[in-house]
Structure 1
Amino acid sequence: MIDVDAIARALAASGRSATRLVDPLHGKPIMLQAYRAAAYTADAPVVIVQHGMGRNGDEYRDFWIEAADRHGLLILAPTFANKTHPGAEPYNNGGVLDGAGEATPREGWAYHLPARVFAAVQAAGVTRRRQAFLFGHSAGSQFAHRMASLTDRSPFCAIGCGNAGWYSLPLLDQPFPAGLGGLGLTDAALEAWLAYPLLILAGTADVQRSGPSLPSNPEAVAQGPHRFARAHNFLRVAREEAARRGVPCHWRIESVPGIGHDGDAMSKVCAAIWFEGAQPDAARMAALAGKVAL
């Protein structure tokens, strides 16, 4: 297990913390960036946040401080450094495949780290919650939805994915990471994934058609010209696959007006949906989009 004593020490007091952790099954270190609100108690919500390609877990932690202080939250941002997890394969794609395209041992996948961190926080007595919220943006959104499709979702009461560059479609006839084929996923497991209440967040201004952070591999381009289109395609494919199988699809998408590829704004929108019941009002949304000062 991840060092429970280190977790207990790091999260004992309110404010920011940064703790180096190693999960014995994964074998590589991560940095846990965290923020404990002054009003946080062990019965309050815990939010796990997955950073983008900048590997800036400290910034993503800070994006959630406003919501943490308002709602008494504990924010945990497991951070995968480029030095230990270089490129998309070990982070966005979880280290699921090796250099030859063969599946690696499941217990070593990076996708298990959020649940293992949360289990250590539970063991340390920092939380009595049985489940955490999990939000990922950009590369972290790729991480989050693939994690949710391939690992145990029971540690999480809600999963939100914002502005992913592309998606692993819920199809068993397409190999991972374009689809979910080739990893031993069963029909029952796929149908349970379609039934999970996944929240997809898509900024209406996230429509750049090129750039260093927009995946341009053929499988990604086939999903749409930009991130906003790819998010809607992801939901469309899920609904069509569920209909074909005669099973429910409980995924939903929230189009976020005026917001582009902005991890700060999307974090605040997700926090509002989860803890206030809806996206921010028009004035607040305009401020998040940089149109007016607030």
Structure 2
Amino acid sequence: MEVATPGVDGPIIVHYHRGSGHSADDPIIVVLPGGGRNGDSYRDSWIDSAEQYDLLVLAPSFDERRFPGPINYNLAGMIADDANLRTLETVTLRETPEEWLFARIEVIFDAAVARTNSAQTQYDLFGHSAGGQIVHRMTLFAPDTRIRRALAANSGWYTTPSSQTAFPYGLDGAPMDEQQLETAFERDLVVFLGELDNASETRGHLRHTPETDSQGLHRLARGQSFMRLAAEQATSMDAEGFAWECAIVIGVGHDYRRMGQAAAEYLYGASENVGMCDMR
């Protein structure tokens, strides 16, 4: 499926699978791949789950030519291309939200609804690695998106809900006020971590800077640190609701296939190998 979205040269390729039992009343899930942008492989890894749970799976490939580098993918195009990728210091924010990747995901959902006559008004969202970074930033910075449940899996690093840390590592200089942060805390976000995505994991590229290493030295530690900080921030703000959760998939590392299978079970079935994070 090709979907034309605003602000890009040409359509975005969306790889999809519609479960044989999928009807207008069944869920739609958008699956965001890692830094390889391999939407076809991610779609393939969700086929069994689509058949089991009657899903429509949409896995877009935001190709490197039109969305070059982590600035335009992991960071969702929120900052200008001339940012120093090594330091990410003194970044310039693209102030028009329509330029950010989040808006394009909404257009992909609309196209799928129209083409399948779906009755869905919301979609679920799963992203792994670089895709997981998009998911948690979308939860923070795109309050009007129609996400029902969001799973950010095995992100390399995070934009933390800290006003003391410069964007994109924190919220200082970000397009975010306290009310928007409180709204973000009320959304159904799950930080979805692999138990073995730890210091021994060698798959995937992991960014190491003073700012990212302050979040932890591996993805498992960084995800738990992000959640602890978020919970502390929600408490200090007296936020009315804090809906975020942190879950750990037992026995799995930086593996998008097994994390995707666990995500499908978590969202639509019974999770037998998923535990909750230690928030102490």
Q: For each residue in 1:226-248, what CA deviation from the matched residue of structure 2 results, as whole angstroms up to 9, or x when unmatched?
A: 00000100100001101111113
Q: Does 1:225 align with 2:217?
A: yes
- Against the structure 1 CA distance between its residues 64 and 102, is the aligned structure 2 distance closer, same or farther, given a 3 Å change threshold? same
Q: For each residue in 1:19-68, what CA deviation from the matched residue of structure 2 results, as whole angstroms up to 9, or x when unmatched?
A: 33331245564211111111111111101000001111111111111110
Residue number among 57, 69, 74 corresponding to 1:87 in the alignment = 69
Are the equivalent residues in 2 in contact too, given 1:203–1:259 (CA < 8 A)? yes
Partner of 2:231: 239
CA displacement at 1:148 relative to structure 2:
1.5
In 1: Cα distance, 2:164 partner to 2:219 partner: 23
Alignment gaps of 5+ in structure 1: 1-18, 283-294
Q: Does 1:123 align with 2:105?
A: no
In 2: Cα distance, 1:279 partner to 1:133 partner: 21
Deviates more, 1:31-40 or 1:95-104: 95-104
CA displacement at 1:210 relative to structure 2:
7.9
Q: Does 1:167 align with 2:167?
A: no
In 2: Cα distance, 1:276 partner to 1:210 partner: 28
Partner of 2:205: 213
TM-score, with length taken from structure 2: 0.88
Q: Does 1:22 align with 2:4?
A: yes
The one-letter amino acid of 2:34's match is G
Alignment gaps of 5+ in structure 2: 84-90, 276-280
In 2: Cα distance, 1:175 partner to 1:281 partner: 33
CA displacement at 1:270 relative to structure 2:
0.6
Are the equivalent residues in 2 in contact too, given 1:26–1:108 (CA < 8 A)? no
In 1: Cα distance, 2:267 partner to 2:54 partner: 13
Partner of 1:67: 49
Are the equivalent residues in 1 in contact too, given 2:201–2:254 (CA < 8 A)? no
In 2: Cα distance, 1:183 partner to 1:210 partner: 32
Are the equivalent residues in 1 in contact too, given 2:198–2:218 (CA < 8 A)? yes
Partner of 1:134: 125
CA displacement at 1:153 relative to structure 2:
4.8
In 1: Cα distance, 2:27 partner to 2:212 partner: 35
Q: Does 1:35 align with 2:17?
A: yes
Are the equivalent residues in 2 in contact too, given 1:209–1:225 (CA < 8 A)? no
The one-letter amino acid of 2:75's match is N
